[in-house]
Amino acid sequence: MNKRLISLFTALVLIATLFPSNQAFAYRDSVVEVTQTYSTSDEVRVAVKMHNIRNLNSGSLQVSVEGSNLDLDGFEAAPKFDKGMFTTTSREEGDTLNISFLASGSNEIDIDSSILGYVTYEVEDSSNVGESYDITLKNVSFKDADDEDLVEATYDGAVYYERSMGDVNDTNELNAAQAMKILQHANGSSTLSSEDLEFADIDGDGNISQKDAKELLEFIVGKKTSMMRIQTEEVNTAFVEVPYSHVMKANYGQAPYTWDASNLPSGLEINEETGEISGSPRDIETETIDITVEDRTGAEMSKSFDLSVIESDVKQIEQISPITVQKGEQPNLPSSIQVTYKDGTTSNEGVEWDTVNTSNVGEYTISGEVGDTQQTTSVQVIVFDGDEKPYVAEDQIIGVTTDYVGFLDVHTITVKVTDKVSRMEVVSGRTKIEMNADVDSTFSLATPRLESRDVVTVIAYDYFNEKITERKVTLK
C-alpha cells in the first residue's frame, strides 16, 4: 500500500474521531431503545441503549422476540453497567430477556447516551435473506432515587436478515478495514467487485469516493447514528388530473422514518409517515423535487428527483381497498384493475406489484405498475398475527355493481356491505342521493339524475351516522 494512501486514510481516521459530525443527534426526550441491525450471520448482537436520562438510580425492562426466527442466546452488560457505575442482572424466560440494574452506592447518575448491553440471538436456518424480525421492548421502568419515572419514549428494534451497508468484505462486521477498501477503490489502487460496490456507496450519490470511507469511519467510531439512505432511484411520471401515487423508500436507518418534500407539482403532497407522494396533479410541468428523510435518531438524508406531469388519455384508475394478510403469508393482490379512459371506455389492465415483506406485523403501502398506461397504483397491505382479522374500514363495502337501462335513461347502482353499515349515499359533484336499504346487507339506487361515464362516490355510514368509508366508481 503506497504511503500517500496510508497518510490519507490516517487523516480520515483523525477527522472521523476528533472532529464533530454534521449529523445531528435529535433525541430530545429521555429514550430507551433496541437498535435495528443488518446481518446475514447465524448469530447477531443488538444493543440496548438509553439517551438523555437524568438522575438515574435503577431500572428494569424486558426484551422479547416472540414468534420470530430469532432464538435468545444471552446478554452481556456494557462496562458501565457491569459492576461499574451500575450493577446489572439478567434472566431468560423463553424468548423474553428480563434486565434490571441498580446504581452503585444508591447514587443518581446522568446519562447522555450509553449502551446498557448487548443481546445475542441465534438466527434459525429457515431464515431467508430480505426477511426482518421485530424485537420488542416491554415494561420499561427507569427510576430516580425518589421512585419517579424517567423515560419519555421507547423504540423497538429489529434484525434485518440482509447484508449491511458498508460491509464490502461481506463479513457481517463493520471495521476500519472496510473503510480502507472503499478508499482504495476511490483512489484506483484496488477495485471492488460489482456486487460489493452496492455496499460501498455510503452516501447514496452513485459514486464511490473518499467521502464514503469517511462516513463509514464516522459510523464505526459512533459519530454517525446510522447509515440511512433513500433507496428510491427515480419517481414515476405523473399525469394531469389523474390520481398519482409513488412510495418513497429508505433503508439502513433506525425506523420509523419522517419524510418531507419541497417543490412538488401543484396538487401533490407527501405523507410524512409513509413517504407516499399522492394527489392529482393540476398542470403540465416538470419539477426537480427535493425529498428529505429523517430517522428516529435524527440522521437525515436528502435526494433530488425529476418529476414530470404530462397529459394522458386515462381518466381514472380503480381504487383498491386495503388487503389483510396473515404474518408470513403472501397477500392476494389483484392481478388486474379497471382503467377508465377520457373517451368513456374502460379496460382491465394487468398490474405488476412490488414485493412485500410480511415477516412483521404492520401496515405497508405497496405500489404497482398498471399495464401499458405508464401509471402506478398503490394498495395498503395490513399484516396481522392471530386468528382474528383486524377491522378495516374499507372492507365494509364488499362490492359495487353499476348498470344503465337505456330506454328509461336510468342508472342503477347496487352495493353489498357488511352489517356495520347503516346507510349509503351516492355523491356526484353537488348531487347527493340516498340509497335504498334492501335485504341481505344490500343497498340499491335507480336514478335518471346521473350521467354516463360520471365518476361517482358511494359513501357508507355506521349506526351513529358517522362516515365509515367510500369508494369511487365509473358509471356505464
Residue 245 and residue 210 share a domain: no
| Residue at which a domain ends, from 179, 197, 226 | 226
Residue 253 and residue 209 share a domain: no
pLDDT at residue number 103: 92
Residue 238 and residue 215 share a domain: no
How far is residue 362's CA from residue 339's CA, in Å, rounded to a whole number? 29
Which long-range contacts (C-beta less than 8 Å, at least 24 apart) are formed by 152-155? 152/29, 152/30, 152/31, 153/29, 153/30, 153/31, 153/32, 154/31, 154/32, 154/33, 155/31, 155/32, 155/33, 155/34, 155/254, 155/296
pLDDT at residue number 385: 83
pLDDT at residue number 88: 95
Mean pLDDT by 10 residues, the chain (476 residues): 54 49 60 92 93 93 88 94 91 94 88 92 89 92 93 92 91 87 85 87 85 86 82 89 87 90 93 90 92 90 92 84 87 89 85 86 86 86 82 82 90 92 91 92 93 87 89 83
pLDDT at residue number 204: 80
Residue 298 and residue 219 share a domain: no
Instruction: Count CA within 13 A, CB hemisphere, residue 97.
Output: 25
| Residue at which a domain ends, from 203, 226, 249 | 226
pLDDT (tens digit per residue) in 276-300: 998 888 899 999 999 999 998 888 8
Task: CATH number of the domain at 444, please.
Answer: 2.60.40.10
In a domain, 154, yes or no: no
How far is residue 458's CA from residue 460's CA, in Å, rounded to a whole number? 7
Residue 336 and residue 304 share a domain: no
How far is residue 318's CA from residue 375's CA, in Å, rounded to a whole number? 12
In a domain, 153, yes or no: no
Task: CATH number of the domain at 371, please.
Answer: 2.60.40
pLDDT at residue number 4: 56
Residue 277 and residue 262 share a domain: yes
Report residue 234 as a C-alpha cell.
427515480
At a CB cut-off of 8 Å and minimum separation 6, what does 242 contact? 280, 281, 312, 314, 315, 316, 317, 375
Domain extent at residue 203: 3-21+164-226
Instruction: Count CA within 13 A, CB hemisphere, residue 308.
Output: 7
In a domain, 13, yes or no: yes
pLDDT at residue number 23: 45
In a domain, 149, yes or no: no
pLDDT (tens digit per residue) in 24-57: 455 678 999 999 999 999 999 999 999 999 999 9
pLDDT at residue number 22: 45
pLDDT (tens digit per residue) in 215-244: 888 888 777 778 888 988 889 889 888 888
Task: CATH number of the domain at 53, please.
Answer: 2.60.40.680
Residue 298 and residue 239 share a domain: yes
